Amino acid sequence: MLQWMREKFVLTLKIAITTIVFLLAIFSFSPPAHAQSIADADSELQTGVQVINQPLGLASTDIRLVVARIIRVALGFLGTVALALMIYAGYLWMTAGGNESQIEDAKRVLINAAIGLAIILSAYAIVSFVISKLVDATLGNGFGGDNLVLEPPISENFQGSGALGQIVKDHYPSRDQSEVPRNTRIIVSFRQPVRLDSFVDDTTGDGVLGNCRTTVANWYNDCDRLRNVSDNLINIKRADNNESIFGAVVLGTVTTENNITGVYTIVIKPITDAANPGGGYLGSTNEPVSYIVHMGPGMLLDDPANNNPSVFRATILGNNYYEWRFTNGTALDISPPTVTSVFPEDGTTEDKNSVLQINFNEPVDPIGITGRFNQGAGHYYLDGQNVFLKSNNSALPQGNFSLTNGYRTLEFAPSQECGRNACGNRVFCLPVCDVAGANCTQDGYEVLLRAARTINAGSFESQPFSGITDLAGNALDGNRNNIPNNAPTTLPIFPNQKQPDNYFWDFTIRNQINTSSPFIQTIVPGVDAQNISRNQELSMTFNKRMRAETMYNIGLEEQPTHPVPIWRVPSVLFNEDDTTYTRLGHGPFLDAIRQYYFTVVSSTVEDVHFNCFYPGKGPRMTVIPNTVISPNCEDSNPQNCCQVINDQNSDFCCNGSAGPNMSACMDYLRQNSI
């Protein structure tokens, strides 16, 4: 009897061990390479996101991952039941002691458990197949194979990036920028004015926040400072060890946007050495150093009607903070900024519905070059006394100077309404021959940009707030000869100060209005281009010179949408032929699943004459599959253009072909995005 029981026990033990090993092998199986099964979905399967800190107040986990986990738990529970039944059957068999009835019961339980296990495994295979096919049918597989598993995307969005393109309009250094000079300042622009008193101390004691004393002998002592370096306000810290810098000076610039005046842009000068009059430098002379700029919920908007809420609200932006990273090189910036182009150009004549536009070769400091004109003695000037204008027979121009396009374009938009454009939007004009006694139809204008005064004759290092500088404090090189010069300061401004290194030019404004609408010549990627890489260039070329400020209105929509919006910041280049190349910086496109992206250019995008973008003309639909660059649409190549013609029953060019109206166009895009 003992021999028989020993044999039965060994047999049962073998069956149990084999069953356990088999089940463990099944439920711990993880496919190789890029595939990922439902069974191991607890590892980071995130479609479109990777780490998002509960965006919009909801869980950031992809819904398919939630379903996969539920199915896995259910199948795992059933597998556990099957295993328990097998062990129970083995126990019955082992303790039967020759009782044939109990042995039959054990066999029956064992057979039923095996059948149940087979059903469970079959159900697992069917569910995995169905889910993978549904994913492939709705979003695309991304690899072209018949994989029976869910596949995680290669791309990721950025934690804390939801504010860029929304409440955060732009910043310098840009996200992930490398080789940033160690002596740089940091600029952040917001779409709504901010309250400096929520994060800046009045160190100077003059009752004005965000400024410095008239003479700056030591940046840390003579300028208003960040209240404290912290994640709740502003923190600038090394990425390798999270060590924060000693402190920071914060300066504010006042501008008017949408008829609301306030501080939209702040300039942050990092202080790494309080004893150093210059404040010290970021990074190291030996190796590149990465920094993280973190702005937190303690920063408040200047919005009394809504009780001055936090700048960063998680329910709107997905995170209650914004942060980005940049990397310093090992060198200091000692090269001066220069003017690359202006509009109106020197010696030309333009219509009165024109903006004034100055483009620099690098980002410049906004302090003293934004705001409104004031009346001077024989000239008009900005508050900072760094930009001057003179006209012969025209009144003070109403409007506002703003620094845009990554802080490389200084743009004056007049605010005197003089008509409507083709889209029904307001058109604004410069004054022409409107002073008492003027009898003319055009008037001469002169503009002068004052370069900062250099400390010595051997370098462009400048005296703080003495004129226009770049973000490292190098004075403007007005004549671009790379030799520092200090222009005279004697009055009158015109003509006495029209000397290097100030920059100056003349033009004529006539009493006419330009009504020619701009259109897009080329787009990248082309219409319906496919298999786009995660870092694919996203750009367009307009046939006219555009207002840089309105390029921020270009949108980027994603279908299906994901919790964190795709950040996009424009970079605008004005070509010699007066065309405008605009490239959108963006988060990585999702390249492991089929995802649709739509660039939205609305009528709020305007040229330098306030004429709105014309959506009835543009590159035609691509006929060559997967073409990345669209055909060049221009008057000399009409075959490359989608163009609305009078005898066509259409109003817009929709996705490269003429369509009936904007509503139908959007319906088409929505229907083809799923």
Helix and strand tally (H, E) in the chain?
A: 7, 31
Amino acid 563: pLDDT: 52
- Give ∠ CA 358-364-368 in degrees, rounded to 5: 85
- Low-confidence stretches of the chain (pLDDT beneath 70): 1-69, 72, 128-160, 315-318, 561-566, 592, 622-627, 646-651, 659-674
- What residues pair up with 538 in beta bridges, in sequence order? none
Length of the chain measured in residues: 674
Q: Using the Cα atoms of residue 242, residue 247, residue 249 and residue 255 in order, give the sign of their dihedral.
A: positive
DSSP code of residue 67: H
Amino acid 631: pLDDT: 81
Which tens digits make up the pLDDT trace of 583-619? 998 888 877 677 888 888 888 999 999 999 987 788 8
Joined together, the tokens standing for residue 425 give 């939007």
State yes or no: cis peptide before 518, omega within 30 of 0.
no
CA terminus-to-terminus distance, the chain: 70
Domain with CATH 2.60.40.1220 in the chain: 168-328, 339-462+481-510
How far is the C-alpha of 101 from the C-alpha of 382, rounded, in Å?
103
Which tens digits make up the pLDDT trace of 535-548? 889 999 999 999 99
- Give ∠ CA 76-78-80 in degrees, rounded to 5: 70
Choices 3.40.190.10, 2.60.40.1220, 3.40.50.1110, 1.10.730.10: CATH for 168-328: 2.60.40.1220
Amino acid 591: pLDDT: 72
Amino acid 184: pLDDT: 97
Fold topology of 339-462+481-510: Immunoglobulin-like (2.60.40)
| Closest to 197 in 3D by CA, of 144, 248, 250 | 250
Joined together, the tokens standing for residue 308 give 């001055």
Question: Strand, coil or helix: what is 343?
Answer: strand
Distances (CA, A) of 15 to 83, 84, 98, 112, 249: 11, 13, 19, 15, 74
Joined together, the tokens standing for residue 153 give 């995307």
367 Cβ neighbours under 8 A, 6+ residues apart: 251, 253, 267, 384, 465
Order across the sheet with 580-586: list the strands: 520-524, 539-542, 580-586, 568-574
Amino acid 590: pLDDT: 79
Question: Strand, coil or helix: what is 651?
Answer: coil
Q: Which amino acid is at 101?
A: S
Amino acid 146: pLDDT: 33
- Give ∠ CA 653-657-661 in degrees, rounded to 5: 45
Amino acid 623: pLDDT: 54
Q: Indicate the helix (H) or strand (E) that contains 504.
A: strand 503-510
Q: Indicate the helix (H) or strand (E) that contains 412.
A: strand 409-414
How far is the C-alpha of 13 from the C-alpha of 1, rounded, in Å?
18
DSSP code of residue 306: G
User: Contact, 563 vs 60, CB < 8 A?
Assistant: yes
